[in-house]
A and B are shown apart, each in its own frame.
Chain A
Amino acid sequence: MARHNRITNKLGIEPGGSFTPLTPDSWSRARCEPIPAVGRAFVVACLLGLGCVQGWAQENTQKQAPQNKQQKAAQSKQAQAPQTNPPQAQQKTAQQASQSSQPQAQQNDQKQMRGLDEQIQEIKSDVLSISAELRGLEEKLLYPSGTQVAVFVSLTKGDTMRLDAVRLQIDGQLVAHYIYSAKELEALRKGGVQRLYVGNVATGDHQLEVLIDAKLESGEDFSRTEHFSFRKEVKPKMVGLTLAGPASGNTPIALGEW
Chain B
Amino acid sequence: MIRAPHQLLGLGLVVGLAACPAAGADLRDLYFGEALYQAYQGQYFDALERLDTELAQYHGLDQPALDTLHYHINDAEFSVGDFELNYRMHQRAGRAIKAVLEGAVDESVRNEAAFRLARIQFQKDQLDDAMESLSRIKGTVPEEIKDDVEFLRANIEMATGKPSEAVKVLKQLRSDTSLGGFASYNLGIALLQDGRPQDAIEQLDKAGRLAAVDEAGLAIRDKSNLVLGTMLFEAANFDRAKESLDRVSLEGPFSNQALLRAGWAEATAEQYDRALVPWNILAEREPTDVAVQEAMLAVPHAYAGLKLYGRAAVMYGRALELFSKQIEKVDASIGSITEGRFLKALMREEARQDKDWVIRLRSLPDAPETYYLMELMASHDFQTALQNYLDLEDLKAKLTAWKTSIDAFDDIIRLREQNYEPLLPGVDTKFRELDSRIRLRQEQRKHIGERLQAMLTAPRPEYLATAEERIAGERISQIEKQLGNSNSPDALALRQRAARLRGTLTWRLETEYHERLTAAYAHLKELNVDVDALTRQYDAFVRTRQAATHSYAGYDAQIERLRSRVGDSLQRVDVVIAQQGRMIETVAINQLEARRDRLVAQQTQARYAVADSYDRAVRAQSGAEKP
Contact = CB atoms under 8 A, between A and B. Distances in A.
Given A20-B380, A123-B576, A141 B355 contact: no
B500 interface: no
B158 A12 contact: yes
Contact of B583 (A82, A109, A193, A194): A109
A193 to B, nearest CB: 3
B271 interface: no
A86 B565 CA distance: 63
Nearest to B406: A134
13 contacts: A5-B290, A17-B219, A23-B384, A33-B18, A44-B358, A46-B380, A49-B377, A50-B253, A98-B597, A102-B594, A133-B1, A188-B37, A193-B34
Interface in A137-184: 137-138, 140-142, 144, 146, 150, 152, 154-157, 183-184
Given A7-B230, A11-B189, 5 more contacts: A46-B378, A47-B253, A56-B125, A70-B234, A134-B402
A84 B23 CA distance: 65
A168 to B, nearest CB: 15
A184 to B, nearest CB: 7
Nearest to A50: B257
B37 to A, nearest CB: 3
Contacts of B395: 123-124, 127
Interface string B605-627: 11011001100100000000000
Nearest to A65: B192
A192 B220 contact: no
Contacts of A123: 392, 395, 569, 572-573, 576
Nearest to B309: A83
B590 A105 contact: yes
A43 to B, nearest CB: 7
B448 interface: no
Interface string A87-113: 110110011001000100110011011
Contact of B257 (A51, A86, A135, A152): A51
Interface string B426-451: 00000000000000000000000000
A117 interface: yes
Contact of A77 (B197, B220, B268, B612): B268
Contact of B53 (A1, A36, A132): A132
A38 B358 CA distance: 8
B463 interface: no
A116 B159 contact: no
B226 A50 contact: yes
Interface in B70-96: 82, 85-92
A191 B189 contact: no
Contact of B236 (A70, A131, A141): A70
A74 B82 CA distance: 50
Interface in B1-57: 1, 3, 13, 16-19, 21-27, 30, 33-34, 36-42, 45, 48-49, 52-53, 56
A91 B26 contact: no
Q: At the interface, is chain B mostly helix, strand, loop or mixed? A: helix
Contacts, number: 431
A64 B305 contact: no
* B interface residue count range (under 10 / 10 to 19 / 20 to 34 / 35 or more): 35 or more
Interface of A: 1-2, 4-7, 10-25, 27-33, 35-38, 40-54, 56-57, 60-61, 64-65, 67-68, 70-71, 73-74, 77-78, 81-84, 86-88, 90-91, 94-95, 98, 102, 105-106, 109-110, 112-114, 116-138, 140-142, 144, 146, 150, 152, 154-157, 183-184, 186-188, 190-195, 203, 234, 238, 240, 242, 258
Nearest to A120: B388
A131 B412 contact: no
A29 B16 contact: yes
Given A15-B216, A19-B223, A126 B412 contact: no
Contacts of B377: 41-42, 45, 49
B594 A117 contact: no
B308 to A, nearest CB: 12
Contacts of B616: 83
B40 A187 contact: yes
A56 B193 CA distance: 14
A49 B374 contact: yes
Contacts of A12: 154-155, 158-159, 166, 185-186, 189-190
Given A23-B380, A48-B253, A120-B392, A1 B583 contact: no
B18 A32 contact: yes
Contact of B383 (A42, A51, A77): A42
A30 B391 CA distance: 22
A13 B186 contact: yes
A132 B51 CA distance: 10
Contacts of A130: 399, 402, 562, 565-566, 569
A122 B78 CA distance: 21
A124 B380 CA distance: 20
Given A12-B155, A136-B1, A52 B378 contact: yes
B550 interface: yes
Nearest to B612: A83
A4 B260 contact: yes
Nearest to A130: B565
A44 B359 contact: yes
A29 B569 contact: no
Nearest to A239: B30
Nearest to A49: B378
B86 A35 contact: no
Contacts of B16: 28-29, 32
Interface in B534-582: 540, 543-544, 547, 550-551, 555, 558-559, 562, 565-566, 569, 572-573, 576, 579-580
Contact of A53 (B297, B378, B573, B612): B378
A113 B234 contact: no
B510 interface: no
A149 to B, nearest CB: 13
A41 B358 contact: yes
A48 to B, nearest CB: 5
Interface string B577-598: 0011001001100100010011
A7 B226 contact: yes
B398 A154 contact: no
A190 B40 contact: yes
Contact of B37 (A31, A192, A234): A192
Nearest to B261: A4
A234 B382 CA distance: 53
A14 B182 contact: yes
Given A28-B82, A56-B125, A195-B34, A15 B27 contact: no
Contacts of B226: 7, 50
A186 B190 CA distance: 40
Contacts of A67: 234
A41 B386 CA distance: 13
